C-alpha cells in the first residue's frame, strides 16, 4: 500500500513538472504575436492586405449598398437584407449595412497598424522610398474607408490608432460630417506627400493621380465645388488616362484600360466580382440572376438617343435582360472600377456648374465628351445651368449604371425623395444596433429615423 502511494506520488510529481510543457500548444496556421509588423516583408504584406480587404469591401458591400436602393437594379433573390435595401427599409440589423460598417472599420484598423508600425521598422530591405510609398497607400486607404463611411452613415467615430486591446479603445463619440471630411482630406494630403509620382502603366495600385482623383470626388460630396477643378485637371491632363474609344472596352479582359484611374484587379487566387448573381438562371453559363436590371434601366440604355453604346451593359437571354459588366466566371476575374476617367469628367462638369465661378461651357464640353463616347448626340449649348446639371445626373445614372454610385448620387443631389420616394430621414443608413448597444460612446447617437 505504502509502496503504491509512493509510486503514485512520484508519478504525479513527474507529471506536474512536465504538465506545463505538455499543455503548451501552438497553432501551425497563424502567426502568434500581439504585433506582427517588424520587417520589410511584413510591412508590405500588411499594406497588401489592405488592398485585398478594400477589394472585398467593394465586391461584398459597396455594390449592393450603391445599387439595390437605387433604381437601376432590383433584387430577385430571397436574402432579406437585400430585399430590405431594394425596398428602402434600412433596418438596424440589416446584415449588409452592418457588414459594410464593420468591414470599413476593420480596414481602418488594418491601415492604422500600418501607419503606426511601419515607421518603426528598421530593415535594410525597406528603403525610405518604399516606406513612404507604403505609408502613402495606408493613408489613402484610410481616407477612402472614411469616405465610404461618411457618405453612407454621416459623421462617424474617428478611430486613428490600431486596436491593441479592447480596454484601451477609449471614448470616441461620433464626429460631424465636416470633421470626418476634414480627416479624409488630412489623410489624402499625407498620401499625396508620401506617394511617388505616377508611372506610365500602373492602374491597380495607388499613385498620386489616384489621390487627386478621389479628392476631387470627395470634394464634390463635401460640397467644396471650388476645390474640385484643380485635382480633376491634374488627372484629366495626365496623358496616362483617356476615355476608351468604345464604351464597352473598359470592362473587357485583360482590363486595366486607359480609362482606369484606379481599379482593383482580380487573379485566379484572389478573385473578383462574380458574374453569377448577374447571369440568368437558365442557359449557359448559368447564374443565380439576383441582381436584375429594372425595366426603367432596360428602356433607358436601349434607347439609342439616351443609352447609346451603353446598351452593351445589358445582355438578353430569352426574355431576360441581365447585366454584363461583370462577365467572367470560373474564376471571376472582373475588376472593381473604383475611379474611371469618365467619372472625373462628370465630377468636373458638375463642379463647374456649382462652383462660385460657374463655367457652363466647360461643363457642357465635359459632359458631351462622355455622350460622344457613348455615340449619342451632344447636348445643345442652349441649355440652362440647371438643365445641364440634370443632364449630368442623368448621364451619371447610365454611365455608371452597374457600378455602386447610383444611390449615393441620388442622396448627394437630394433627389432620393423625388425619384425613389425615400424621405430624408432614411437617406443615411442606420448605425448598427450592435454598436449602439455595445459602444457607450454611441449612446443616443443613432441617425434620425431609426
Partner 1 sequence: MNLLILVLALCFTSEVYSQSAFQGVVKNSNSGLPIAGVSIENSNTKDAYVSDSQGNFTIQNPTFPIILTFQSIGYKSETKTFHQANSNIEVSLEEENQYLNEVVITGYTTQQRKNISGSIATVQFNEQSQNQADVDALKLLQGKAPGVQISSTSGSPGGGISFLIRGNSSIGGSVEPLYVIDGVFISTHLPVSGGGGNLLSNPIADLNPSDIESISILKDANATAIYGSQGSNGVVVITTKRGRRNSPSRINFHLKEGVSQATNEWAIASGTESGQLLLESWENTAKDNGESLSSYLNRERPTHWNIVFPFSLPNGSPDFTQNNIQNLPTYDRVESLFRSAVSQDYQVSVNGGNEKSNHYIGIGYSNQESIVKPNNFSRFSGRVNYDNQIREKLKVGVSFNLVRTGRENVRNSDNDPTGIIGSAIFPRSFLPIYDENGDYLNHATFNNHLRLIEHLDNSYVTWRNTVNLNGEYTILPSLKFRSSWSYDLSNHNSRSFSDFALSNTGSATASNQINQVFSGEQLLQFVESFNVKHDVDVLLGNTLLINQNQGLNSFGSQYIFDVLREVSSAANTGGGSFRSESRLVSFFGKAGYTYDSKYALEFSFRADGSSRFGKNVQWGYFPALGATWNAHRESFLQNSKQISLLQLRASYGITGNQNGIGNYDALAIWNSNAQAYLDDPSLTPGRLGNPNLTWETTSQSNVGLDLGLFQNRLTFHLDAYYKYTKDGLQAVNVPSRSGYSTAILNYSEISNKGLEFQILATPVQNENWSWTTSFNISANRNKIEKIPQEQTLGATNRGTSILRQGYPVNSFFLYKQLYVDPQTGNAVYDDVDNNGIINYADRQIVGSAEPDFQGGFTQYVTYKNFDLNVFFHFTKGNEVLNMQQYFMVHGGTQNGIGFDKRQLNRWQKPGDITDIPRLTRFNRNPELNNAPANNYLGQVASLSSRYLDDGSFLRLRNVAIGYTLPTQFTRRIGVEKLKATISATNLWTLTSYKGVDPEVSAQSSNQNTAGYDWATIPQPRTIEAIINITF
For partner 1, which residue of 185, 224, 248, 450 counts as binding (CB under 8 A)?
Answer: 450
How, if at all, do strands 336-340 and 260-264 pair? antiparallel
Residue 444's closest CA among 105, 180, 173?
Answer: 173
Residue 443 near partner 1 by CB under 8 A = no
Site for partner 1 in 185-244 (CB under 8 A): 204-205
**Span 291-330, contacts to partner 1 by CB under 8 A:** 294-296, 319, 329-330
Query: Which triple of cell numbers denotes residue 240?
Result: 496616362
**Strand, helix or coil at 292?**
strand
Q: Which lies closer to partner 1 via its Cβ, residue 204 or residue 368?
A: 204
Q: Among residues 169 and 383, whose Cβ is nearest to partner 1? A: 169
Cβ nearer to partner 1, comparing 109 with 365: 109
When the beta carbons of 109 and 238 are compared against partner 1, the nearer one is: 109
Read off the C-alpha cell for 205.
Answer: 495600385
Task: Give the CB-side neighbour count of residue 270, counting CA atoms within 13 A.
Answer: 13
**Of 35-74, which residues contact partner 1 (CB under 8 A)?**
36-37, 41-42, 44-46, 48-49, 51-53, 55, 74
**Torsion angles phi and psi, residue 36, rounded to 5:** -105, 10
Residues in region 404-433 near partner 1 by CB under 8 A: 421, 423, 426, 432-433
**Shortest distance, CB of residue 315 to partner 1, whole angstroms?**
16
CB of 232 to partner 1, least distance (A): 27
Residue 356's nearest CA partner among 223, 216, 220, 226 is 226
Identity of the residue, 267 or 356, whose beta carbon is nearer to partner 1 in the bound complex: 267
* Residue whose C-alpha is closest to residue 371's, from 358, 383, 359: 383
- Is 438 an interacting residue with respect to partner 1 (CB under 8 A)? yes
Among residues 288, 247, 281, 212, the alpha carbon closest in space to that of 403 is found at: 247
CB nearer to partner 1: give 288 or 365.
Answer: 288
Nearer to partner 1, 83 or 360 (CB): 83
- Pattern of binders to partner 1 over 103-132, x per CB under 8 A? --xx-xxx-xx-------------------
Could you tell me if 422 and 83 are in contact, meaning their C-beta atoms sit under 8 angstroms apart?
no
**Cell (9 digits) for 133:** 510609398
Element (H, E) at 338: strand 336-340
Q: Does 385 bind partner 1 (CB under 8 A)?
A: no
| Count of positions on this chain that bind partner 1 (CB under 8 A) | 107
Q: Which of residues 141-170 bind partner 1 (CB under 8 A)?
A: 157, 159, 162-166, 169
Residues 76-105 that bind partner 1 (CB under 8 A): 76-81, 83-84, 87-89, 91-93, 95, 98, 101-102, 105
By the 10 Å C-beta count (0-12 exposed, 13-18 middle, 19+ buried), 446 is classed as middle
Residue identified by cell 460630396 is 221
**Residue 339 — φ and ψ, nearest 5°?**
-150, 120
**Binding residue for partner 1, selected from 116, 182, 224, 281, defined by CB under 8 A:** 281
Interactions with partner 1, residue window 323-362 (CB under 8 A) = 329-331
- Radius of gyration, alpha carbons of the chain: 25
In angstroms, give the least distance from the CB of 182 to partner 1: 18
As a whole number of angstroms, the distance between CA 416 and CA 407 comes to 8
Q: Is 337 helix (H, G, I), strand (E, B) or coil?
A: strand
Among 124, 199, 200, 268, binds partner 1 (CB under 8 A): 268
CB 109 within 8 A of CB 141: no
CB nearer to partner 1: give 127 or 282. Answer: 282
Stretch that binds partner 1, among 21-29, 216-224, 351-359, 367-375 (CB under 8 A): 21-29
Amino acid at each position: 500500500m505504502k509502496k503504491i502511494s509512493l509510486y503514485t506520488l512520484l508519478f504525479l510529481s513527474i507529471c506536474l513538472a512536465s504538465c506545463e510543457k505538455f499543455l503548451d500548444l501552438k497553432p501551425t496556421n497563424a502567426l502568434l504575436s500581439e504585433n506582427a509588423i517588424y520587417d520589410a516583408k511584413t510591412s508590405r504584406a500588411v499594406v497588401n492586405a489592405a488592398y485585398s480587404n478594400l477589394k472585398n469591401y467593394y465586391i461584398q458591400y459597396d455594390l449592393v449598398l450603391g445599387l439595390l436602393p437605387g433604381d437601376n437594379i432590383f433584387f430577385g433573390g430571397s436574402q432579406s437584407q437585400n430585399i430590405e435595401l431594394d425596398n428602402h427599409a434600412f433596418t438596424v440589423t440589416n446584415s449588409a449595412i452592418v457588414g459594410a460598417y464593420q468591414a470599413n472599420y476593420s480596414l481602418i484598423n488594418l491601415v492604422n497598424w500600418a501607419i503606426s508600425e511601419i515607421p518603426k521598422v528598421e530593415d535594410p530591405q525597406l528603403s525610405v522610398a518604399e516606406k513612404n510609398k507604403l505609408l502613402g497607400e495606408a493613408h489613402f486607404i484610410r481616407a477612402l474607408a472614411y469616405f465610404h463611411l461618411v457618405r453612407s452613415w454621416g459623421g462617424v467615430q474617428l478611430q486613428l490608432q490600431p486596436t491593441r486591446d479592447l480596454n484601451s479603445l477609449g471614448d470616441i463619440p461620433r464626429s460631424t460630417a465636416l470633421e470626418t471630411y476634414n480627416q479624409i482630406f488630412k489623410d489624402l494630403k499625407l498620401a499625396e506627400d508620401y506617394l511617388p509620382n505616377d508611372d506610365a502603366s500602373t492602374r491597380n495600385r495607388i499613385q498620386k493621380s489616384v489621390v487627386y482623383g478621389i479628392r476631387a470626388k470627395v470634394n464634390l460630396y463635401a460640397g467644396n465645388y471650388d476645390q474640385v477643378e484643380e485635382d480633376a485637371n491634374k488627372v484629366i491632363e495626365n496623358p496616362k488616362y483617356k476615355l476608351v474609344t468604345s464604351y464597352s472596352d473598359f470592362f473587357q479582359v485583360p482590363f486595366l484600360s486607359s480609362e482606369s484611374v484606379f481599379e482593383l484587379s482580380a487573379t485566379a487566387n484572389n478573385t473578383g466580382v462574380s458574374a453569377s448573381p448577374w447571369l440568368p438562371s437558365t442557359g449557359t453559363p448559368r447564374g443565380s440572376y439576383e441582381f436584375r436590371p429594372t425595366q426603367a434601366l432596360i428602356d433607358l440604355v436601349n434607347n439609342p438617343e439616351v443609352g447609346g453604346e451603353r446598351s452593351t451593359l445589358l445582355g438578353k437571354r430569352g426574355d431576360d435582360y441581365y447585366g454584363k459588366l461583370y462577365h467572367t466566371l470560373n474564376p471571376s476575374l472582373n475588376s472593381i472600377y473604383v475611379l474611371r476617367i469618365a467619372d472625373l469628367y462628370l465630377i468636373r462638369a458638375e463642379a463647374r456648374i456649382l462652383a462660385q465661378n460657374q463655367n457652363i461651357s466647360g461643363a457642357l464640353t465635359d459632359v458631351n465628351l462622355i455622350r460622344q463616347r457613348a455615340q449619342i448626340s451632344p447636348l445643345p449649348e442652349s441649355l440652362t445651368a440647371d438643365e445641364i446639371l440634370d443632364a449630368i445626373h442623368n448621364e451619371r445614372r447610365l454611365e455608371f449604371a452597374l457600378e455602386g454610385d447610383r444611390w449615393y448620387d441620388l442622396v448627394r443631389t437630394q433627389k432620393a425623395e423625388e425619384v425613389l420616394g425615400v424621405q430624408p430621414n432614411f437617406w443615411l443608413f442606420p448605425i448598427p444596433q450592435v454598436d449602439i448597444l455595445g459602444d457607450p460612446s454611441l449612446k443616443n447617437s443613432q441617425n434620425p429615423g431609426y
